[in-house]
Amino acid sequence: MPAAAAEESHGVNRVVDNICRLSPELFAESCQHILNYLQGQTRGLESAEISDRFQRAGVLLDHEAQQNIIRFLLLTFRSAGKNGLSGDDLVLRLEEGSNKWPKASLQVVHRLWSEHGALVHAQQETQDMLSIGQVHPQNALVDMQWKLGLAVTSDTCRSLNSPFVSLLLKIAEPSGQISQKSFEMTIPQFQNFHKKFKEMAAVMETV
């Protein structure tokens, strides 16, 4: 076996080993979450939510291992949809990629893909048609949350007991995964931030 193929096979086996640590129910939840995204039911893939489910179930995997599982499933289902695979075809492909798959996990994949595969395929065809001649932004803002806080410690940015605004941005990346960016601003900084947004809104209304 060529070195590159051997390394890829080792990487797949490592991911499958970690999937073996998930209960069939938890694995099904993770697959369903990804399939919902691929069917266009959600704007992005909340990998942080899947990671939280792992932790609540007592599955101790580091961040990289969790992300590798999510990426593997995302690419697997996306490829299966693009190629119009049946549930049997998908299971066969997984078995060819690794001999470590537990039977229960393959049964989950077969059941979910038999139920949702056609919808994923249809959604991908629709996206392909809509994307013809269009330029998509690299990142898209999905959600923005804010809260007002009061500093209980003093640092270089805030004085003790001074109010501040905390912002959390959820951004859909080109891969489909949603990343989170958080930062804090003093009240004057937030007021300037708000002023810039109003200026942007005013300009957009004239377009």
Q: What pLDDT, on a 0 to 100 scale, did the predictor assign at position 155?
A: 46
Choice among 32-41, 48-57, 103-112, 120-129 with the minimum mean pLDDT: 120-129
Tally of CB atoms within 10 A around 4: 8
Q: Does pLDDT of 120 surpass 80?
A: yes
Lowest mean pLDDT among 32-36, 126-130, 188-192: 126-130
Query: What pLDDT is recorded for position 133?
Result: 44
Express each pLDDT in 78-89 by its tens digit: 999 989 899 999
Band (75; pLDDT cuts 50, 70, 90)? very high
Q: Give the pLDDT band of residue 21 (cuts 50, 70, 90).
A: very high
Cβ-Cβ contacts under 8 Å for 178 (sequence gap 6 or more): 43, 44, 45, 46, 47, 48, 142, 170, 171, 172
Q: What is the mean pLDDT of residues 169-176?
A: 75
> What is the torsion angle, in degrees rounded to the nearest 10, for the CA atoms of residue 148, residue 152, residue 158 and residue 160?
120
Query: For the chain, what is the mean pLDDT?
Result: 80
Give the rounded percent of residues in the chain with a pLDDT score beyond 90: 35
Asked which of 33-42, 96-105, 166-175 is least confident by mean pLDDT, the reply is: 166-175
pLDDT at 10 over 70: no
Report yes or no: 30 and 162 within 8 Å, Cβ to Cβ.
no
- The pLDDT, as a whole number, for residue 8 is 58
C-alpha dist (Å) from residue 186 to 39, 122, 136, 155: 41, 47, 34, 12
Evaluate if residue 160 carries a pLDDT over 70: no
pTM comes to 0.62
